Structure 1
Amino acid sequence: MIRRRPILTLLLVLAILLIALAWPNRAHLAAFPDIIGAYTAKEYCSCRYVSGNPAAYCEGYVAQYVPISSLLDDEAGKRVTAVGLGRSHSAAWLGERQGCRLLPGE
């Protein structure tokens, strides 16, 4: 089989290797989509309301290789909502001493 179909054999071996690497790390891989939105919301909130930087600078600051779907900045409520990989997370500015915190259940 290897001599007749070397490319198919190589793809099969790579698929088995990928499954063997992914299976023990399945919990970490399942958490990855949440990390994108949560990181973006928290860091944007901190950049914008703790550090006092302009919105354009903070958008560049939180830019990642995996893009987010939307970033909503509620300036009046000092709350940021980021949607990435289908998951939505919000962070809010709590005060000068507390800074920004991710909001639970969002």
Structure 2
Amino acid sequence: MRFSIPPDHPCLDGHFPGRPLVPGVVLLEHVLQAIEAAHAPAAPLRLPQVKFLRPLLPGQVAEVVLDGAAPRWRFEVRGEDGVLARGEVQEATHG
């Protein structure tokens, strides 16, 4: 799933003045949307492990790459310069 956050998106207000960066929570929101679209999990999801490696700037394109199946997925959010974030998502009823 590819996405881009436009420079006028409200999530950028104050994050950070003069050099806006897309907040990590917005990246994670796209990860969860990708899982829900591809796998329609039945249980609530949790994020036991997440690591942010590089920032995503407004207007840059990123892609969510998933590996796995319910109840556990690994993910990477990739940008044009490499991996932006990686981690694990689990159904809350497992593990």
Q: Do Structure 1 and Structure 2 share a fold, with TM-score over 0.5?
A: no
Normalized against structure 1, the TM-score is what?
Answer: 0.36
Larger relative strand fraction? 2
Q: Per chain length, whose mean CA-contact separation is higher, i.e. which structure has more relative contact order (CA < 8 Å, sep 6+)?
A: 2
Name the one with the larger helix percent: 1
Structure number with greater Rg is 1
TM-score, normalised on structure 2? Answer: 0.38
